[in-house]
Structure 1
Amino acid sequence: MAQQPYKRTLKLMGSRFEITVVAKDSIVANKHIDTAVAEISRIEKLISSWDANSQTSEINRNAGVSPVKVSPELFELIARSIKISQLTDGAFDITYASMDKIWKFDGSMTQMPSEEEINASVAKVGFQNIFLDRENSTVFLKMKGMKIGFGAIGKGYAADKAKALLISKGVASGIINASGDMNTWGKQPNGEDWKIAITNPMNKNKVFALLPITDGAVVTSGNYEKYVNFQGKRYTHIIDPRTGYPSSGIISVTVFAPKAELADALATSVFVMGKETGLDRINQLPGIECIIIDDKGNITKSKNIEFDKL
């Protein structure tokens, strides 16, 4: 029988996941999809800060108190997160979870928070205050009230792990789409590359580019849905963990990288760093590209991207 794609859509990690595998029949395909789902659920248990029993919650509970012994997997994820923080000058920071939620994007805000409130909101944020002890596999958050969260990297990490597991089980081709974080491998049954559409947030029904993607990840981070306007300036829900102020100027960032975890983290970081700094940083990273759409609708791309506009 000819191979064909089988797809399942479900809610995992509080997000919509679409898992597609290419297989010879639905029985084989469903078995593989079940494997991917089990792996994503396992990771959610490990990294969820909502689950009181997770190792992440244990780290947060012991902030300012004592180091917590964690699994090598979580230890390495935190170590890689710190590296990305260093790479982005703190624009990406898993201790963003320590931020007081003073910005509301549900229509209830009538005025901007005061400068004092904003400064106070990020007082406990700072990746420099995560202490890792590799020998004992422990993680310690220096200040009471500090918290870590994997909101900007967790879905990508889970997609990478599920993809690696499916490849190890002999699945030659597929896509894991974690609500916009696309992770692909292999080719379509007709031998063509998988293609992803990039839409223009200014006009959601319009696709401006179709890009072939081989064995890599593409993450689009958009903030055109959640924002507030004050004094004619648009503030979006992606907040700079260093300052407590929302990012502005960019409405969509698409990052191409070998792994979804990195693409995920960098997409958020580019928003925070802004167009010039973000682009400059991406251009220095081998194998990573990005497309930025600013709030005027201008499209800027990193130096090695070639695409045909539709």
Structure 2
Amino acid sequence: MHRVEHVMGFPVSLRVDDPHVGEESADAVFAWLREVDARFSPFRADSEVRRLDRGEIGRGDVSADLDEVLELCEEYRVATGGAFDVRLPGRGLDPCAVVKGWSVQRAAGLLRAAGASRFVLNAGGDVVASGGPWRVGVRHPEHADKVCVVAELGDAAIATSACYERGDHILDGRTGRPATGLLSLTVVAPSLTVADTVATAAFAMGAEGIAWAAARPGCEVFAVDTERRVLRTEGFPVTSEQARAA
């Protein structure tokens, strides 16, 4: 089974290689992602996030899902010394950096609950893989037609933060200015909740974010800094061909 839909502002593709898993499982995945977009988007006037930001509901009145997301946001704000912050001065509450990975990981859980064991769910380039090996190419930060590394995943997730798609959209919460020091940073972790949030938080920290991300439990890192230096943790799962070449 293979399906692609545009949800939350980017293409989401699903491939399931288990023949006993039907289209209803894909229906459930995309229905959940559309629900997340409606409830948590900072761009929808009637979303729960916007209602909280406007003071129409209090923190104690939010759903259990939004409470979980906000707890994660606060955890990473503290862990990065404020570099990762979803409440920047002069801007509305924007938890998208956590919501994307969290919601796609939850969607992967729906697939597993339906009996899927071999699948790949790709949300705008951030991937949850199960039953690999799956090969996932990471786009070169300066050449759109090239990859800078290919990761080989079994049961894991991979996420990249960079500025090549949306410009300087990642801000350092300590300064309020665009993050500097990195061209791209990729994280492989057991879940996309972790991989995506750690990648964004580390990018916001700049060059110091590489060591910070590498020290997070279960995380492996591949980064390119603004001096075009490539830094890779020993456990980053490159393909066997790349490992031999190195």
> What pairs with 1:101-250 in structure 2 (closer than 5 Å)?
147-187=92-132, 193-227=133-167, 236-250=168-182
Scaled by the length of structure 1, the TM-score of the pair is 0.71
One-letter identity of the residue aligned with 2:236: I
SS of residue matched to 2:177: coil
One-letter identity of the residue aligned with 2:137: A
CA contact (8 A) 1:283 1:303 kept: no
Deviation at 1:249, TM superposition (A): 2.4
Sequence identity percentage? 28
One-letter identity of the residue aligned with 2:141: P
Larger radius of gyration: 1
Give 1:57's aligned residue: 50
SS of residue matched to 1:208: strand
Instruction: Establish whether residue 74 from structure 1 lines up as the match of residue 66 from structure 2.
Output: yes
Deviation at 1:34, TM superposition (A): 0.7
Deviation at 1:252, TM superposition (A): 0.9
SS of residue matched to 2:4: strand
1:249, 1:220 → 2: CA distance? 15
Call closer, same or farther: CA 1:154–1:66 in 2, change over 3 Å: closer
Call closer, same or farther: CA 1:202–1:184 in 2, change over 3 Å: same
1:306, 1:76 → 2: CA distance? 30
Structure 2, unpaired ranges of 5+: none
**Which structure features the higher share of helix residues?**
2
> Deviation digits for residues 245-284 of structure 1, max 9, x if unmatched?
1122211111111121222122122222122x21221232
Aligned length: 241
Call closer, same or farther: CA 1:254–1:66 in 2, change over 3 Å: closer
Deviation at 1:68, TM superposition (A): 5.0
SS of residue matched to 1:242: coil
Structure 1, unpaired ranges of 5+: 1-5, 101-146, 188-192, 228-235
CA contact (8 A) 1:62 1:68 kept: no
Give 1:11's aligned residue: 6
> Deviation digits for residues 263-308 of structure 1, max 9, x if unmatched?
2122122222122x21221232121011111223221113432532
Deviation at 1:86, TM superposition (A): 1.2
1:303, 1:99 → 2: CA distance? 40
Instruction: Establish whether residue 89 from structure 1 lines up as the match of residue 81 from structure 2.
Output: yes
RMSD: 2.2
> Deviation digits for residues 190-235 of structure 1, max 9, x if unmatched?
xxx11111232233333333221122110012213455xxxxxxxx
Scaled by the length of structure 2, the TM-score of the pair is 0.88
